[in-house]
Amino acid sequence: MKYSRKTAIFFSLFPGAGHMYIGLIRQGSELMLLFFLLLFISNSFDFRFLGIFIPVIWCYSIFDLKLKITQEDNVQDDDLPIFKSTNFSKSFFNNNAEKYIAYVLIIMGVFSLIDNIVVPFISRYCDYEIIRLIKDLIISIILIGTGFFLIKSKKKNVESGDQK
């Protein structure tokens, strides 16, 4: 496939767009998903520590595209390494998409309720520092619980022989 290398590098400044330009639609969309999801979560839910990974994804996008441009003939549109290691795309596209979307929507809804209803209500009666600590505690408990749930469900899949 013929494409301009300079244009591809220019598009790579926007994570995933350069990959899409050279025909790697799956990798480009995965990079965009990671980049914007991290940007959204770190800003919306006050998870500033996730902001560390935003420049990592941005740089990975640029350097991976430069590497793929030099390997013109051997490039395949596979999953990104992070998605390969988790088997995310296989499980996501095997009729489980609704389940994953539902989990994400439920978690986002809980965070939104905490931010928009619980915190303003409690702020009438408590100091801001106490509210911030309670909010961080609730979000941390939800994240830890979600992690345990995912580990437990993965164990069940391994025991039943679904995964290798």
**Structure confidence at residue 23 (pLDDT):** 82
Beta-carbon contacts of 163 under 8 Å, excluding residues fewer than 6 positions away, are 87, 154, 157
The beta strand positions in the chain, using DSSP E, are none
Q: Residue 79, Cβ neighbours under 10 Å: how many? A: 16
**Structure confidence at residue 161 (pLDDT):** 60
The pLDDT of residue 8 is above 80 = yes
Q: State if pTM tops 0.95.
A: no
Local structure of 99: helix, strand or coil = helix
The pLDDT of residue 89 is above 60 = no
